[in-house]
Amino acid sequence: MDFQSCFPVWEQLTVAQRERVLSGLLRRHVEKGTVLHNGSMDCTGLMLVESGQLRAYILSDEGREITIYRLFDRDICLFSASCIMRSIQFDVTIETEKDTDLWLIPAEIYRQLMTESAPVSNYTNEIMAARFSEVMWLMEQVMWKSMDRRVAAFLLEESAIEGTDRLRITHEAIANHLGTHREVVTRMLRYFQNEGMVKLSRGAVDITDSGRLEALERA
Amino acid sequence: MDFQSCFPVWEQLTVAQRERVLSGLLRRHVEKGTVLHNGSMDCTGLMLVESGQLRAYILSDEGREITIYRLFDRDICLFSASCIMRSIQFDVTIETEKDTDLWLIPAEIYRQLMTESAPVSNYTNEIMAARFSEVMWLMEQVMWKSMDRRVAAFLLEESAIEGTDRLRITHEAIANHLGTHREVVTRMLRYFQNEGMVKLSRGAVDITDSGRLEALERA
């Protein structure tokens, strides 16, 4: 896969703009578990995921986390370049959940592209609207959905991402995705186990009845 | 106040674009309590508030509400034109909280402007980033702050907006802003009253010790 075919507005750039992007473009291989962007502390630039998996989350003063969205192959990470828009007044942390290969367009180059090019700016709008939509979905989950439905939804999502019913994940990690405490997750998973929907073992959760988890999620 | 001085990118439009905007521009006087935009049901266009007050909120299936932000004089309402970006995949309801005068740029005209003009598209980006920031702030409140701090913050915000310590608002309305139940708000306000921070009467909440409410909010 090359950069040009992954960057959707490539065809709409002028020759000079293309040259500028290519001359500044960086390629990175990042190991799983690396923090790529840390709130307002840095402004690396726009990241384009070639392959891998990123997680964006927010942190409370007490160190609690909640995952706000994830990025996969060919997704764009806008908030690692949040300095290019002064109205972005919130801090997101981005870390790799799997070994990841990505391209990086430095913030200054992307800022200039946006200033010049309506297609690039409109494309950026669409990315932000997509992330905004994910956060609004999450807000609705947090506000209106009970924790049992959120845990069920998370297990099913993980299973779909990993392509397996055996999830190698700790209760602590699930709690960090959902913005709750480990004890709450452990209690919920034990209830699911009693109901025959999952089987718990050291460091793993096996989904044994995905149909019932799905029914719970939709309930 | 005229439209040109309220619309920040006016100076960056071409003569032809200005004519197009002015020829399509609508002016509306809307009474307090009117629903201006209802989720994905309509796509009126971009609204620019001349004077008044709007509230944007989301609704649960059961009819519970939570206010996501408010708009005041010279603010732009983007989500009443949400159809212009296909990646906006959430429904917001917008209603007037006070009698409001506004200008309306029809969605089709605004969409065309964004396609042509990098300044208009970048301006739209900044509006969306500002709203996104408000929603992220709210998400943090909902996730990490206890309800007593959220009620205290709401009372102080209302008092600042209205310029008075006498708030004419029902417990039901406060619950709808905060996405909770009336009983929760009533219990909290009675606790605040016992502590001498507010005084409750029929249809009103008087703030009697804003210093302590502020201390609670910051706690």
Question: What sign does the CA torsion over B137, B139, B144, B149 have?
Answer: positive
- Give pLDDT, residue B149: 93
Among residues A188, A207, A199, A206, which one has the least CA distance to residue A146? A188
- Tens digit of pLDDT for each residue in B11-65? 999 999 999 999 999 999 999 999 999 877 778 899 999 999 999 999 888 888 9
Chain centre distance of CA A163: 18
Taking 90 as the threshold, does the pLDDT of residue B118 lie above it? yes
> Contact B132/A88, CB-based, under 8 Å?
yes
CA distances from B65 to A163, B10, B35, B56, B184 (A): 37, 36, 14, 10, 14
Q: How confident is the model at residue A86 (pLDDT cuts 50, 70, 90)?
A: confident
Q: Give dist(CA B60, CA B79) in Å, integer.
A: 18
Name the minimum distance, in Å, from the CA of B114 to any CA of chain A. 7
Q: How confident is the model at residue B75 (pLDDT cuts 50, 70, 90)?
A: very high
Nearest to A128 among B66, B89, B125 (CB): B125
Q: Which residue of B has its CA nearest to A127?
A: B87
**Mean of per-residue pLDDT scores for chain A:** 93
Tally of CA atoms within 13 A in the half-sphere of A141 that contains its CB: 22
Number of H helices, E strands in chain B: 8, 9
> Contact B135/A138, CB-based, under 8 Å?
no
Number of H helices, E strands in chain A: 8, 9
Q: Which residue of A has its CA nearest to B178?
A: A143
What angle (nearest 5°) sits at the alpha carbon of residue B136, between those of residues A142 and A41?
A: 130
Among residues A122, A142, A123, A144, which one has the least CA distance to residue A134? A142
Q: Which residue of A has its CA nearest to B117?
A: A118
Name the minimum distance, in Å, from the CA of A145 to any CA of chain B. 10
To the nearest 10°, the Cα dihedral for A85, B217, B205, B176?
50
| 3-class DSSP assignment, residue B74 | coil
> Contact B144/A62, CB-based, under 8 Å?
yes
- Per the listing, tokens 């921070």 go with B197
In this prediction, does ipTM exceed 0.90?
no
Percentage of chain B modeled with pLDDT above 90: 75
Q: Which residues of B touch A86 (CB under 8 A)?
A: 126
Radius of gyration of chain A (CA): 19
Q: Which two tokens stand for residue A122?
A: 């409109």
Taking 90 as the threshold, does the pLDDT of residue A158 lie above it? yes
Q: E-strand spans in A6-149?
A: 26-30, 35-38, 45-59, 65-71, 76-77, 93-106
Say yes or no: B66 contacts chain A, CB-CB below 8 A. Answer: yes
Radius of gyration of chain B (CA): 19
> Contact B129/A88, CB-based, under 8 Å?
yes
Q: A200 CB contacts (<8 Å, ≥6 apart)?
A: A189, A190, A193, A206
> Contact B131/A132, CB-based, under 8 Å?
yes
CA distances from A3 to A22, A51, B1, B43, B189 (A): 9, 12, 48, 36, 57
Q: How confident is the model at residue B145 (pLDDT cuts 50, 70, 90)?
A: confident
Among residues A118, A89, A103, A16, which one has the least CA distance to residue A51? A103
Tally of CA atoms within 13 A in the half-sphere of B164 that contains its CB: 8
Say yes or no: B40 contacts chain A, CB-CB below 8 A. Answer: no
Q: Give dist(CA A169, CA A97) in Å, integer.
A: 12
Name the minimum distance, in Å, from the CA of A136 to any CA of chain B. 7
Chain A interface disruption, residue of B12, B68, B134, B136, most A CBs within 10 A: B136
- Give pLDDT, residue B83: 86
Q: pTM score, two decimals?
A: 0.87
- Tens digit of pLDDT for each residue in A98-137? 999 999 999 999 999 999 999 999 999 999 999 999 999 8
> Contact B125/A129, CB-based, under 8 Å?
no
